[in-house]
Amino acid sequence: MPARQRPATARAAADGMKLHRRTLRLAGREHTVIGLRPGTTARFGTNLFHETWHVLSDRHGAQVLARLLWGLSYQARPGTLLLIDRPFLVPTPFDADPADPIVVLPDRRTPFGRRAARDLKARLPLRSAPDGTVRWRTYGLDAALTDVRGWTDAHVPYWRPERGRVRRTDGLIVLQPDSTTELRLWALWAATLDATGRFPSDHTYLGPWRGGHSGEIQIFRDFRRDVGIARRARADVLARPDAPKYPDLLRPRIWRQGHAIRCGRSMKIENCRNLDPTTAERLNRIGIRTLDDLARTGPVEAFLGLRDAAMPGLTRTMLWALEGALTDTDRRAIPAARKEELLSELERSARGRRRR
pLDDT average, residue stretch 150-178: 86
> Are the C-beta atoms of 13 and 53 separated by less than 8 Å?
no
Listed in sequence order, the DSSP H helices in 286-328 are 291-297, 299-308, 316-327
| DSSP SS3 for 273 | coil
The pLDDT of residue 11? 54
Q: Cis bond leading into 244, ω under 30°?
A: no
> Are the C-beta atoms of 166 and 214 separated by less than 8 Å?
yes
Residue 51 burial (C-beta neighbours within 10 Å; 0-12, 13-18, 19+) = exposed
Q: For residue 323, what pLDDT band results from cuts at 50, 70 and 90?
A: confident
Give the tens place of pLDDT for each residue, 72-85. Answer: 999 878 889 999 99
Where is average pLDDT lowest: 1-15, 65-79, 108-122, 277-291? 1-15
293-326: string of b/e by CB count within 10 Å (b at 16+)? bbbebbbbbbbbbbeeeebeeeeeebbbbbbbbb
For residues 63 and 57, what is the distance between their CA atoms, to the nearest angstrom? 10
Where is average pLDDT lowest: 6-20, 75-89, 102-116, 315-329? 6-20
| DSSP string of 59-95, one letter each residue | HHHHHHHHHHHHHHTT--STTEEEEE-TTSB---TTT
Domain ranges of the chain: 7-221, 225-355
Fill in the DSSP letter of residue 155. H
Fill in the DSSP letter of residue 199. S
The pLDDT of residue 8? 46
Q: Name which of 161, 204, 168 is nearest 182 in CA terms.
A: 161
- CA angle, residues 325, 334, 285, in degrees to nearest 5: 30
The pLDDT of residue 108? 78
The pLDDT of residue 225? 82
Between the two ends of the chain, the Cα-to-Cα distance in Å is 62
The pLDDT of residue 161? 66
| Mean pLDDT computed over every residue of the chain | 87
> Are the C-beta atoms of 305 and 298 separated by less than 8 Å?
no
For residues 254 and 291, what is the distance between their CA atoms, to the nearest angstrom? 15
Where is average pLDDT lowest: 130-134, 217-221, 336-340, 351-355? 351-355
> Are the C-beta atoms of 193 and 217 separated by less than 8 Å?
yes
- Who's near 118: CB < 8 A, 6+ residues apart? 170
Q: Tell me, which fold does domain 225-355 have in CATH?
A: DNA polymerase; domain 1 (1.10.150)
pLDDT average, residue stretch 315-335: 85
The pLDDT of residue 159? 58
Give the tens place of pLDDT for each residue, 28-67. Answer: 999 999 999 988 889 999 999 999 999 999 999 999 999 9
Give the tens place of pLDDT for each residue, 272-310. Answer: 878 888 999 999 999 998 877 887 788 889 999 999 998
pLDDT at 4 over 70: no
Give the tens place of pLDDT for each residue, 172-202. Answer: 999 999 889 999 999 999 999 999 888 889 9
The pLDDT of residue 12? 65
167: number of Cβ within 10 Å: 14
The pLDDT of residue 94? 93
| DSSP SS3 for 146 | coil
Rg (CA), the chain: 25
Q: Give this prediction's pTM.
A: 0.72
